Amino acid sequence: MSAAEGPLVVGVDTSTQSTKALVVDAATGEVVASGRAPHSVSSGAGRESDPRQWWDALRQALHQCGDAAREAAAVSIGGQQHGLVTLDGRGEPVRPALLWNDVRSAPQSRRLTEELGGAKFWAERTGSVPAASFTVTKWAWLAENEPEAVRATKAVRLPHDYLTERLTGEGTTDRGDASGTGWWASATEAYDEEILAHVGLPPALLPRVVRPGEIAGTVRDGHGLPFAKGTLVAPGTGDNAAAALGLGLRPGTPVLSLGTSGTVYAVARQRPTDPTGTVAGFADAHGDWLPLACTLNCTLAVDRVAALLGLDREAVEPTAHLTLLPYLDGERTPNLPNASGLLHGLRHDTTAGQLLQAAYDGAVHSLLGALDLVLDDDADRSAPLLLIGGGARGRAWQQTVRRLSGRPVQVPEAEELVALGAAAQAAGLLTGEDPAAVARRWNTARGPVLDAVERDESTLARIAGVLSDAAPLLERSTDAR
């Protein structure tokens, strides 16, 4: 048996490219075991994954955790948001899941916005204006392009819902992940029957929304996982809401997450409704709200530029004339789903290191541009930015964020914050605590603070100018995928 002080819990992060599992001591927050297994994602016009990969990866990751996983008293799943999982009557996938960064539904997002009262209607009703990443647009795309798949669909789930249901046998979701679908009304915290009827999605196909602190179910027999039958299963949530739990966020603290996608967000008491569509009015996983802005291109895009140049990702050199908009997957913030990367200012004396730094600058510019819109009016604009995600420990990322934000930056020492947030949610089931309070007790946000440096206004102005001048070009589809 484990020498842990308290009961053990499992937190899972099923992300775009892998599934991670942590076994955590609920009393201290100590990670006593961990495991990871990869997924594959399609290339080409779409971004798709077979959900059965996620289950196989979960099994692999948990078995890597050894005996500790068998001792767990509760488990929770955090997962990539927005993905459309369609299941048949036997619970098997009808087709591969359409992932958050599949932007083929851009025409449907524009059409849905226009057909149902415009951006103001959507922002007031759901908290967000539906971008191509949102699940409702993916369902509309599927109905238009693969009607036979829609006819075969007997249940619609999000990625974290799919794994939770395989654990419990019950179709459930939570308010945090449901708020990213585009068919959950944030004003009433219920599925929106008008929107569902408009897109032809019967409410009976959707999972039950489990409230914060409620038990989603218990682990059933025949799952092939190292859990005892009857192990408690928490509601789970989307990845950003799970990371917010993992940090123990209090309202107004800004977070900048550097992953495959980039996000900025903060916990808020008031329900957000941004009709510009820049800020998504998501719910969080414990009763408040999580206004969030997301870019599609972050670490993956910058790493791709580094690979094309044959450079290590840290091999940057200062540049005062070069602008690179790294919109390799289209872009969501700014809303340019058909865009591709754009380079301006190339000269004979331009170096590869300067090109790489320009890619960092372009990615961070998009995130910082949305930060002020995410924060409430009374937020402290001088408070440190919490820098998390796969890029947070990279020196080039840290220095670029400091230079372009002009703010101090804090880098939490805790890793795998999505899985830690899920573990805190599982621990809350056992202790009756708010999961964010659990994470604060675990001191997960602890980490060094990097001092502020003078804000690089000239680079910000240069990128903004290129973005404005190139708008017609960026809005044009290349169709060369």
Q: How far apart are CA 386 and CA 408, in angstroms?
A: 9
Active-site pick, 161, 239, 284, 329: 239
The first and second tokens of residue 388, run together, are: 């998390």
From 63, 49, 42, select the one nearest 15 (Cα to Cα): 49
Closest CA to 315 of 360, 280, 275, 273: 360
What letters, b where the CB count within 10 A reaches 16 and e where it falls short, cover 75-111?
Answer: bbbbbbbbbbbbbeeeeebbbbbbbbbbbbbbebbbe
SS3 readout for 296-353: CCCHHHHHHHHHHHCCCCCCCCCCCCCEEECCECEECCCCECCCCCEEECCCCCCCHH
User: Are the C-beta atoms of 273 and 123 separated by less than 8 Å?
Assistant: yes
CB 289 within 8 A of CB 318: no
**How far is it, in rounded angstroms, from Cα 363 to Cα 463?**
10
CA–CA separation, 112 vs 384, rounded Å? 38
Q: Is 102 a catalytic residue?
A: no
CB 313 within 8 A of CB 303: yes
In 92-172, where does DSSP find H-type helix?
106-115, 118-126, 135-145, 147-152, 159-168
- Cβ burial of 312 (10 Å; 0-12, 13-18, 19+) is exposed
In order of 70, 178, 265, the CA distances from 127 in angstroms are 40, 12, 14
CB burial class (10 A; 0-12, 13-18, 19+) of residue 221? Answer: exposed
Distance CA 360, CA 33 (A): 34
Query: What is d(CA 441, CA 5) in angstroms, rounded to the nearest whole number?
Result: 14
Q: Say if strands 74-79 and 8-14 run parallel, antiparallel, or are unpaired.
A: parallel
Q: Which residues are catalytic?
A: 239
